[in-house]
Structure 1
Amino acid sequence: MNFDLSGKIAVVSASSGGIGFAIASGLARAGADTVINGRTAEAVECAVAKLRKEAPGASLKGVAGDLGSAAGVAAFTEAVPRADILVNNLGVFGPGTLFSATDDDWERYFQINVMSGVRLTRAYLQGMMERRWGRVVFMSSESGLNIPPDMLPYAFSKTAQLGIARGIAKQAAGTGVTVNAVLPGPTLSDGARAMMADKAASEGKTVEQALNEFVMATRGSSIIQRAAKVEEVANMVLYACSVEASATTGAALRVDGGIVESIG
């Protein structure tokens, strides 16, 4: 299926690399005027230049800024006052149990993973509803359902995104705006590659091999029995952002490779 998003303005937070970049690439190739975001101007400029080479003729804009704070979101939305498509991709992950995680750790996950999407959606949703068309996607995780106790603050933030997306979808009922959450499993993202780099090097393996072994060791229910590629996750997001996805809203769309033991 070829998606046509010509004339739509798409914002993807944290899109200078990894899953975010793959999503931005898909939206740009589908014709959307795509805004690339990253924390530094250098990262954004590199991402825009890379995507221009991969997709000549794509309509791209780069806006640097840390969207993990209210001030950062305010500055960003002043520079980009309208969005027809919003992908709340910004997020951090890492270990932390009930006993090891501090109050500051919990607050950091909440502000970056949860409130960044809340603030951006608040800024853009009203305009989408008035124009009677829009797409909002929250990038959650299978960890939001399959809670790992050794990553509890992270998992909490991903579960929160599911509830928020469902509630906002109901608020936008009947307006032509859809709101969904996408739940990737372990993915060959930049962050995952960095996390596995030392382990892979010490064992004489590629990062992909090491991550696939990690998936089977910690997520043995995986049906694909490997980590997903960033493009595989981006494909689901691209569908959720498409005109064709007009009846898909309030949903938790899993791209977890079958990890979550549920047929629902």
Structure 2
Amino acid sequence: MRLDLSGKTALVTGSTQGIGLAIAQSLARAGARVAVNGRTRDKVEKAIEAIEGDAISAPGDISTDEGTEQVLRAVPDADILVNNLGIFGAQDPLEITDDDWRRYFEVNVLAAVRLTRAYLPKMTAKGWGRIQYIASDSAVVIPAEMIHYGMSKTALLGVSRGFAKAAAGTGVTVNCVMAGPTHTGGVEDFVYQLVDKDLPWDEAQREFMRRHRPQSLLQRLIEPEEIANMVVYLSSPLASATTGGAVRVDGGYVDSILP
């Protein structure tokens, strides 16, 4: 299979680190011109240095109207939109405040909706485009320690399916990528919230998977590049018949045949 994205422009939100950076790197290696997004220009420029290929700067906090407009000025047209930006964290369910609920919805859901609303009409006018939302196994297996995060990822499944219907017959595909427990810096911090902070990382990871993610068939954290591989495929012309889907890269975590 030849995944050639030459001539395509891709915007990856929240792409200065972790899964987002891995996605940006992989899209660039496939030939795409990649717009790197983060809240500050310094972080964006540092991330661009780690990308081999054509990358441009698109700083802006897309959880706000002003930040979204800043990104849209930097990237007025995109062939591929990867809505990766997301926040997470462990919190007692009864201590999640109204402001917390609103913040998770604003950042994890509404930011992606704004950009979809901006780019989808241009994609449909061209007759080609790819929109993806990075969701999570938490969308269907709500974690007791972060139900506000799970709620936001469940919402993305609905958003993705709905926009796929809005793009029906246009040549534009819209999908969710359901990532399983993935090894990022933020996840390392999260793991140490839940296991003994004095454990070496390899032991801490095993303890976390055993106690908190025992359903995983991989029995390890997924590497960001493994998520990126699926995103690049779904961004390519080869995935032209895959739309409206919730495609799992979860290491077999979700214990069902369908999401």
C-alpha separation between the residues in 2 aligned to 1:211 and 1:252? 27
2:62–2:111 CA contact under 8 A, matched in 1: yes
Query: Which residue of 1 is the match for residue 229 of structure 2?
Result: 235
Structure 2: where are the runs of 5+ without partners?
none
Q: Secondary structure at the match of 2:238?
A: helix
2:57–2:74 CA contact under 8 A, matched in 1: no
Query: Which residue of 2 is the match for residue 177 of structure 1?
Result: 172
| 1:252 partner letter | A
2:137–2:178 CA contact under 8 A, matched in 1: yes
Show CA shifts across 1:164-218 (max 9, x none): 0000001100000000001111100121123346857512x12x44223212211
2:59–2:70 CA contact under 8 A, matched in 1: no
Q: Counterparts of 1:130-145 in structure 2 under 5 Å?
A: 130-145=125-140
Query: Which residue of 2 is the match for residue 202 of structure 1?
Result: 198
Q: Counterparts of 1:66-145 in structure 2 under 5 Å?
A: 66-145=61-140
Equivalent residue for 1:150, pick from 145, 154, 159: 145
C-alpha separation between the residues in 2 aligned to 1:59 and 1:152? 38
| 2:20 partner letter | G
- How far is 1:122 from its partner? 0.6
1:39 matched to 2:28? The reply is: no
Identity of paired residues, percent? 49
Structure 1: where are the runs of 5+ without partners?
none
C-alpha separation between the residues in 2 aligned to 1:98 and 1:216? 22
Query: Given the superposition, is the C-alpha separation of residues 146 and 41 from structure 1 closer, same or farther in structure 2, using an over 3 Å criterion?
Result: same
Equivalent residue for 1:64, pick from 59, 62, 80: 59
Show CA shifts across 1:138-158 (max 9, x none): 011000000112211110000
Equivalent residue for 2:187, pick from 181, 184, 192: 192
- How far is 1:259 from its partner? 1.0
Show CA shifts across 1:78-113 (max 9, x none): 221001000000000012344110000000000000
C-alpha separation between the residues in 2 aligned to 1:194 and 1:150? 14
C-alpha separation between the residues in 1 aligned to 2:188 and 2:171? 38
Query: Given the superposition, is the C-alpha separation of residues 221 and 49 from structure 1 closer, same or farther in structure 2, using an over 3 Å criterion?
Result: same
Query: Which residue of 2 is the match for residue 14 of structure 1?
Result: 14
C-alpha separation between the residues in 2 aligned to 1:96 and 1:47? 30
Q: Considering only aligned residues, what root-mean-square deviation do their CA atoms show, in Å?
A: 1.4
C-alpha separation between the residues in 2 aligned to 1:148 and 1:200? 19
C-alpha separation between the residues in 2 aligned to 1:131 and 1:82? 11
1:216–1:226 CA contact under 8 A, matched in 2: no
C-alpha separation between the residues in 2 aligned to 1:113 and 1:40? 18
C-alpha separation between the residues in 2 aligned to 1:235 and 1:209? 27
Q: Secondary structure at the match of 1:136?
A: strand
TM-score normalised by structure 1 residue count: 0.94
